[in-house]
Amino acid sequence: MNTIRALLLGVCAVTISSQVLAAPKLYTATVDRDGKVIHQDADWIKDVNVINQKNYFATYEVSFTDRSFKTAPAFCSASSIDTSDFDRLLYGHVKLSGAATAQKVNVIALMPGKSGPSGDSAQGFQLMCIR
């Protein structure tokens, strides 16, 4: 009887621990329009490289630290949070530019719908990735 209890306890422990280990991990960060990481909930972003093409778009190459992802994140999303001027509030749009890899994710900022040249399209954004 004790052997059966011990076996059942072992099975329960393995089941619970495997569910905990398999639980997804959520990473979030706030990046300003210059590519500076304002806040991140864990140390998961190594650096951000910004390429701003005037009157077109701005690209942010967000590099992950080596220990953040062994494989590509299961899901990533970016959202504009820049309210520094009226144009960014109305027209500012941020999205991923391609699929994330284990090393990096590319984010693109643009201002579609704005009348005339967009000028500087750089925008602050929030980034979220799930492992």
All structural domains of the chain with their residue ranges: 24-130
- How many degrees, rounded to 5, is the angle at CA 44 between CA 105 and CA 46? 70
pTM (predicted TM-score) = 0.80
Query: For position 21, what pLDDT does the model report?
Result: 58
- State the chain's maximal CA–CA distance in angstroms: 80
Query: With b meaning 16 or more CB within 10 Å and e meaning fewer, what string describes 26-39?
Result: ebebebbbebebee
* Mean pLDDT by groups of 10 residues along the chain of 131 residues: 57 52 86 97 95 94 94 96 91 95 97 88 96 89
For domain 24-130, the CATH architecture is Sandwich (2.60)
Q: How far is CA 86 from CA 55, 82, 102, 111, in A?
A: 17, 10, 36, 12
Length of the chain: 131
